[in-house]
Amino acid sequence: MLMTCKATFENMLIRELGLYGWKADTSGAGWVLATVKGPYPDICFAESAGEDPVEITASSANKLTSELVDLFMAGLKDNRVDNPWPFVFNAVGQDASLSKRAKTVQAAWLKKLQKILPRVMRLAREDMTEECAARRGFFVHVTDFTRAFVSRSAKFGGQRRMQMDSKAPSRSYLKIEEAYGILGCQPGKGETVIDLGAAPGGWSYSALKRNARVIAVDNGRLLGTVKNHPGLTHHQENAMAYQPPAGVTCDWLFCDVLDQPDRILNVIFKWVGNRWCRRFIVNLKFGRTDPIPLLAKARDPGTGLAAGCSVLKIRHLYHDREELTLMGSVRT
């Protein structure tokens, strides 16, 4: 399986795979080729996972294009395509010139196939990968100037770049917006959101624009349109010690607090264990803390968050730095 991740986080991905007994065969900037055992689990650091990757080597962009056209044509043998299908051409890592190569090859590949297979190519959709599910299509990951890996089936973590809202008080807004897509739901009109560590208000703003009611808990100041919003109540107190009123269950818990990740995780354990919220989105800033034990702790089916959740997803988001974002639904 060919997995992609953010460049410089390859070792984190390899170590996370080790939690499941999976072995990395080789790796490079932004990618890991692994031998897998059993069903594909919820992987935090992987952005995509291509099944049964075919390695293609070519000395030029033209030769790579021809190889990819031939591979695509061979895959259509005895198969009829009647529905929209996705394709991805991705240059892994952070090399701008490699990205340019991938775009050049993609354009040439499309041009050739549109002449040969106009009906099939009218059904092609670039990057239909937001929904996190396994997809059938044509997924190309260019790893260097002479090599690419191609999969016909791939799974996606749902990470993607979001568009900033100029009215949001901080860029943390991008993380919560990205998390909604991965979790598959978002706050709705009239729902109650408790936002721990709300200041300056990026996550609260995201909930308010969806007409949810927000209880913001932070000793710090809220900024912009959030500060005096009629749908928000600001409790200026310690977010880590805050508890909802007895017998009250909020619809959503948000938590984006700058603190030790183990400490934040323990607070979230308490919220989930006491069923003080129905859903949650929590950001852990691991920095110098090893994130792999944090993942194992959260996912433990007996003592971790997983024990109290009907849904638990953990991602290294596109907009995360040295952070993990946990999303879930609490078991009723």
Active site residues: 285
Residues in the chain: 332
> What is the C-alpha to C-alpha distance for residues 308 and 192, in angstroms, rounded to an integer?
20
CA 27 to centroid of chain Cα atoms: 20
The total of other beta-carbon atoms located within 10 Å of residue 72's CB is 21
Tokens found for residue 227: 């500060």
CA distance 38 to 265: 29
β 23-28/31-35 pair status: antiparallel
Q: Which residues contact 142 (CB under 8 A, 6 or more apart)?
A: 89, 90, 91, 92, 98, 101, 102, 105, 148
Distance of CA 214 to the CA centre of its chain: 25
Measured between alpha carbons, how far is 32 from 294 in angstroms, rounded to an integer? 21
DSSP for 183-224, written as a single string: HT----TT-EEEEET-TT-HHHHHHHTTT-EEEEE-SSPP-G
Rounded to a whole number, what is the distance in angstroms from the first to the last CA of the chain? 36
Q: Which of 201, 98, 96, 198 is nearest to 143 (CA)?
A: 98
